[in-house]
C-alpha cells in the first residue's frame, strides 16, 4: 500500500513539462502560417515571437485573441480491447499585446500577456488509469514588458522581462475504498510564480530576405503552499493529515528560435522557423509536503526529459488589400522518453497543419482567424513508476480569433 501511494504522489502534475503542452499560441497571423513569426514583422505578437522585430513595426497597436483548444486522446490498455477517451473539455489559451512608440522614433515599447504552457485533460473517475490521473487543469500565464530599438534601417534588437503565474488543479483516485466502495481521491491545487526573459534580433538582408533570432529563457514557476487535499475513509485520515500543503517547482524550459522571411512578390510572404526547446532542465519531479506521515513522504522522482525541436513553414497571400489567406504546418519531436509517458502527458512526435484568414474590417481595425489540427503519432508505452501500459492515440483541434486596432 505504501509503495502504491508514494508512486501516486510522485507522479502528480508532470503535464507541465511536456512539449505537447507548450502550446505557443502567440498570435493568429503566426498560427495561420504554421507558427512562424521569428523572422517576420507582422503585428504586436512579435513581443512573443521576436522582441527584436517590435521596433520595425510601422504602427502602434493593441490586439487580443483567443485560441480554444480541444485535446482528444484515446487509451487502449495492453492486452485488452477496451478504449478510454478524454472528455470534450476546452482549454482557453489567449494572448494580448500593446505596442507604442513616438512616430518616426527608433524605439518602441511593448507589453504581452500570453499563455505559452497549459492543458485541460479529463479521463473521468472510473477509467482503468484512475489511480494515475482523473483530471488536470493547468495554466501558465506570462506577463512581458518589452523594449525594442532600431539600430539601423536593417537591424533592430529587443528584450523583455517575463513574470510567470502558474495555476494547477489535478485529481486522481487513491486505492482505498470507503464503506460504499468509493475510491479515495487526491487533489493538488495551487498557484505560484516565476521569472524569465525574452530577447531577439531582427535583420533585413541585401537580398530581401529577413532573418530573426530569439531566445526565451527558462522560467521556473514555484508553488510555495499549494493545497494537498486527500479524501479518504475516516480510519485513514491520520495517514493523510488535513489541512496540508506542498511545495514544488515547475521548470518551464527555454526556447531558441531561428526564422527566415521570403518575399517573392508584393502579394506573397513565405516563412520558415526552427525551434529548440531545452526540456533537459526537467531532471526530476520533487514534492515537499508540509506534514508527513509514514504513508505520505516527500518524493524525489527522476524524469530525465530530453530536448525537443520543431520545424515550421508557412505562407501568406494577399489577393487584394483587405484580405489575407494563410497556410502552413510543421513537425515537433517528443520530449518524453520511453518509460516516462503518462496520461497527463500522452506525448509523442507530431505533425500539424494550419490555415488562416485576415480581413481589414475598417481602416484601423483588423480581424484574423486561424485553425490548427495536430496529430500525435500512436505511442505504446509502459510507465516505469506506475507500471501502467497501453497505447495512446491523440489529436488536437484549435480554432482562433483576434482583433487588432492600430494607429
Q: What is the CATH number of the domain that holds 308?
A: 2.40.160.60
- Write out the three cell numbers for 347: 506525448
The conformation of residue 16, written as its DSSP 8-state character, comes to G
Q: What are phi and psi of 6, to 5 degrees?
A: -65, -40
For residues 115 and 67, give the distance between their C-alpha atoms in angstroms, rounded to a whole number: 10
For residues 190 and 40, give the distance between their C-alpha atoms in angstroms, rounded to a whole number: 38
Q: Which residues contact 294 (CB under 8 A, 6 or more apart)?
A: 2, 239
Residues across the chain:
407
- Write out the three cell numbers for 96: 494580448
Residue with cell 521569428: 38
For residues 345 and 343, give the distance between their C-alpha atoms in angstroms, rounded to a whole number: 5
CB atoms within 10 A of CB 322: 11
For residues 384 and 109, give the distance between their C-alpha atoms in angstroms, rounded to a whole number: 48
Burial classification of residue 79, based on how many CB atoms lie within 10 Å of its CB (0-12 exposed, 13-18 middle, 19 or more buried): exposed
For residues 370 and 357, give the distance between their C-alpha atoms in angstroms, rounded to a whole number: 6
The conformation of residue 296, written as its DSSP 8-state character, comes to S
For residues 392 and 73, give the distance between their C-alpha atoms in angstroms, rounded to a whole number: 7
User: Is the distance from CB of 209 to CB of 260 less than 8 angstroms?
Assistant: yes
Question: Using CA of residue 309, residue 67, residue 251, residue 43, what is the dihedral sign?
Answer: positive
Is the bond into 227 cis (omega within 30 degrees of 0)?
no
For residues 315 and 42, give the distance between their C-alpha atoms in angstroms, rounded to a whole number: 13
> Domains in the chain: how many in total?
1
For residues 139 and 166, give the distance between their C-alpha atoms in angstroms, rounded to a whole number: 6
pLDDT in tens, the chain (407 residues): 444 344 444 444 333 333 445 788 999 999 999 999 999 999 999 999 999 999 999 999 999 999 999 999 999 999 999 999 999 999 999 999 999 999 889 999 999 999 998 878 999 998 999 998 899 888 899 999 999 999 999 999 999 999 999 998 989 898 888 878 889 998 989 999 999 999 999 999 999 999 999 999 998 888 888 999 999 998 888 999 999 999 888 778 999 999 999 999 999 999 999 999 998 887 777 778 899 898 888 777 667 788 999 999 999 999 999 999 999 999 999 988 888 888 877 889 999 999 999 999 999 999 999 999 999 999 999 988 788 899 999 999 999 999 999 99
Q: What are phi and psi of 4, to 5 degrees?
A: -65, -45
- Write out the three cell numbers for 333: 519531436
**Maximum Cα interatomic distance, the chain, rounded to a whole number of Å:** 77
Q: What are phi and psi of 206, to 5 degrees?
A: -65, -25
| Residue 375 lies in domain | 2-406
Please tell me the pTM assigned to this model.
0.90
The conformation of residue 402, written as its DSSP 8-state character, comes to E
Amino acid at each position: 500500500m505504501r509503495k502504491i501511494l508514494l508512486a501516486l504522489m510522485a507522479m502528480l502534475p508532470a503535464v507541465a513539462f511536456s512539449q505537447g503542452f507548450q502550446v505557443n499560441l502567440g498570435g493568429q497571423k503566426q498560427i495561420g502560417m504554421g507558427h512562424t513569426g521569428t523572422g517576420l514583422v507582422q503585428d504586436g505578437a512579435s513581443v512573443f515571437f521576436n522582441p527584436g522585430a517590435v521596433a520595425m513595426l510601422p504602427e502602434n497597436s493593441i490586439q487580443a485573441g483567443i485560441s480554444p483548444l480541444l485535446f482528444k486522446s484515446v487509451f487502449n490498455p495492453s492486452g485488452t480491447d477496451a478504449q478510454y477517451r478524454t472528455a470534450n473539455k476546452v482549454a482557453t489559451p489567449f494572448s494580448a499585446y500593446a505596442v507604442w512608440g513616438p512616430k518616426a522614433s527608433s524605439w518602441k515599447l511593448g507589453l504581452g500577456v500570453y499563455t505559452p504552457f497549459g492543458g485541460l485533460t479529463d479521463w473521468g473517475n472510473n477509467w482503468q488509469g484512475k489511480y494515475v490521473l482523473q483530471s488536470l487543469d493547468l495554466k501558465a500565464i506570462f506577463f512581458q514588458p518589452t523594449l525594442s530599438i532600431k539600430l539601423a534601417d536593417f537591424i533592430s534588437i529587443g528584450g523583455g522581462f517575463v513574470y510567470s503565474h502558474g495555476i494547477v488543479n489535478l485529481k486522481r483516485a487513491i486505492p482505498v475504498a470507503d464503506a460504499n466502495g468509493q475510491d479515495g481521491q487526491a487533489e493538488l491545487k495551487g498557484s505560484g510564480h516565476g521569472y524569465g526573459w525574452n530577447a531577439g534580433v531582427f535583420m533585413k538582408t541585401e537580398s530581401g530576405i529577413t532573418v530573426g533570432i530569439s531566445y526565451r529563457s527558462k522560467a521556473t514557476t514555484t508553488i510555495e503552499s499549494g493545497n494537498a487535499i486527500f479524501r479518504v475513509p475516516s480510519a485513514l485520515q491520520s495517514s493523510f493529515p488535513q489541512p496540508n500543503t506542498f511545495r514544488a517547482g515547475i521548470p518551464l524550459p527555454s526556447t531558441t528560435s531561428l526564422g527566415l522571411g521570403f518575399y517573392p512578390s508584393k502579394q506573397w510572404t513565405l516563412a520558415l522557423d526552427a525551434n529548440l526547446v531545452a526540456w533537459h532542465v526537467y531532471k526530476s519531479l520533487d514534492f515537499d509536503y508540509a506534514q508527513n506521515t509514514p504513508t505520505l513522504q516527500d518524493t524525489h522522482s527522476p524524469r530525465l526529459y530530453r530536448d525537443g525541436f520543431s520545424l515550421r513553414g508557412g505562407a501568406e497571400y494577399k489577393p487584394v488589400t483587405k484580405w489575407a489567406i494563410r497556410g502552413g504546418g510543421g513537425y515537433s519531436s517528443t520530449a518524453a522518453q520511453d518509460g516516462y509517458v503518462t496520461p497527463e502527458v500522452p506525448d509523442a512526435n507530431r505533425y500539424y497543419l494550419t490555415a488562416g484568414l485576415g480581413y481589414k474590417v475598417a481602416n484601423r481595425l483588423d480581424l484574423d482567424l486561424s485553425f490548427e489540427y495536430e496529430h500525435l503519432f500512436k505511442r505504446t508505452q509502459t510507465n516505469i513508476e506506475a507500471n501502467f501500459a497501453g497505447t495512446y492515440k491523440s489529436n488536437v483541434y484549435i480554432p482562433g480569433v483576434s482583433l487588432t486596432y492600430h494607429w
